[in-house]
Structure 1
Amino acid sequence: MAERRAMIRSLLLIALVAKCTALPPSCDKCYIRSLDNCGAGLFLFATGNKVPETDADQEDFCRSQSEAQVWSRDYVQRCTRGMTRGHADHFLDDIKKEIMERCFKSSSYRDDFTKYAPCLNKVGSKFHTCVKNFIMDLDVASRLEPRQRITGGCCKYKKLEVCMSDAIRGTCDKGAHDFVKRLLKHYEGNMLGILCANDWANAKCKAIKYDDKPGDASLRSVIAPLIKVLEAIDA
């Protein structure tokens, strides 16, 4: 049964990728802004306050997110090197897994997403603010000296977890809370789970000295500043 589900998911991925449009001209340059434009849709609530509540809307949303994942991976393969490329690939693997599980119509994760989407949308503006602030925070972390950059980025991810958990408290039931935890676990995945395993202690996070400049508010994607954080590994 597990093998059959895996095969169906693989076929779904092929179908979604087949529907993706060709790489847009705006995505074919090795500029971080190109990646930011083409990878903006990877995270839920990254580009707006709402997620789809119907199957029809979900199909379009899945296609859009799959495109963002494919285009981001194309950038990573062409424009990064060394361990930066490897870790970015692992991050995109984790993102792809979340998208595929949510877009697979016979998955319990998809069922839970559909069930809780209306309540998630009630706090959608708060979620959007959490993700937007995370993107800006990663940009701030990317300016740290290389030896502190990974830890700084991990501390910012922990801040995102706390923000999203606080945003839903008091509005949605325990089932919705549990879904958000599963979503964040997907985003953490193998890449952040390994890199950040020892970096989330409050003492370590409080010891990081960020500069006084705010993050770039025009950034729209998580992966653009994340790439700059990961480049510390190859520095």
Structure 2
Amino acid sequence: MIFVGICLLIAFAGQSAGQSCHLRELDLCAATLLVFTQNPSGIATNDAELNKQCGYLKEADQCLKNFTRKCTTSLQRELISFVTEGSVRLLTEYCTTGSQLRTSYLKHADCLNQATQSNQKTCIRDLQSALETVTQVEWDQRIPAGCCAYRRFQDCTESQVEAKCGKEAVEFMDILLRMALSRLPDIVCPSYNPQTEECKALLPESGATPKGAKSNSVLSRLFSAYTGL
């Protein structure tokens, strides 16, 4: 969830960049996230692994802060701050030893790790493919397409976690997702359902292969660091 939130921040910052900057300046941020995702044992399940991951996450966060400070206007920075408020708070609590969120995370970590290793990348690939579509539709369709993509990702994640780890773990994942993506989806997307004809018409079919590294979407290329596509 933190990876998703920071990827969205990278993409949003890139869209807001001033003429004095170039998206290549975000390569370091993305490279740091790539190191974070390349953990052969899966997600962190103890304090030592969490602290190691937090080092990479904090580097990526600082890289993004430097980029937005240099490359965006004050108004753009305020908007980015609003959109990413939850991700920043999640990062802080995730990386604070003894915090309530971290304690809850460690309680569920072993089972979440199993769920992640077995099926979770399916949800990420569907989200990645959907977000590529979002960048290609007409402007008046981008919010509906984005909301449908978010809701489908949420449903996919919840169903896989519940099947493996139970409802309590799902409730915890919902908290993480809401924190990672801040208040924006709840404000903009409350009425969208991925099972409706509207969403089905806007999104690629579940299981569709995203363009990944070959995509024109900066966000999709960042997700490729996680999916390997």
The TM-score, its normalising length taken from structure 1, stands at 0.67
Distance apart, 1:149 and its partner CA:
0.9
Amino acid at match of 2:121: H
* Aligned match of 1:104: 96
Q: State the Cα distance separating 1:52 from its structure 2 match.
A: 0.8
Query: Partner residue of 2:159?
Result: 166
Structure 1 residue 77: Cα displacement: 4.3
Is it true that 1:38 corresponds to 2:38 in the alignment? Answer: no
Aligned to 2:67: 75
Which blocks of at least 5 consecutive residues in structure 2 are unaligned?
1-19, 221-229
3-state DSSP class of the match of 2:165? coil
CA RMSD of aligned residues (A): 3.7
TM-score normalised by structure 2 residue count: 0.68
Amino acid at match of 2:179: H
Q: Percent identity?
A: 24
Q: In the alignment, what sits opposite 1:224? A: 219
- 1:91–1:192 contact (8 Å) kept in structure 2: no
**What's the CA shift string for 1:210-230, capped at 9, x where partnerless?**
7xx96432289x9835xxxxx
* Kept in 1: contact 2:94–2:102 (CA 8 A): yes
Matched residues in 2 for 1:130 and 1:46: separation?
16
Once residues 206 and 95 of structure 1 are traced to their aligned partners in structure 2, the CA distance between those partners, rounded to angstroms, is: 28
- Asked whether the 8 Å contact 2:45–2:110 carries over to 1, the reply is yes
Write the deviation string for residues 2-35 of structure 1: whole angstroms up to 9, x where unpaired. Answer: xxxxxxxxxxxxxxxxxxxxxxxxxx9522x653
What are the within-5 Å matches in structure 2 for residues 196-211 of structure 1? 196-200=189-193, 202-208=196-202
Distance change in 2, residues 1:215/1:162 (3 Å): same
* Runs of 5+ consecutive residues of structure 1 not aligned to the other structure: 1-27, 226-235
Question: How far apart are 1:174 and its partner, in Å?
Answer: 2.9
Number of residue pairs aligned between Structure 1 and Structure 2:
195
What is residue 58 of structure 1 aligned with on the other side? Answer: 50
In the aligned structure 2, how far is the partner of 1:133 from the partner of 1:48? 22
* 1:87 Cα deviation from its structure 2 partner: 4.0
Comparing 107-116 and 195-204, the one that deviates more: 195-204
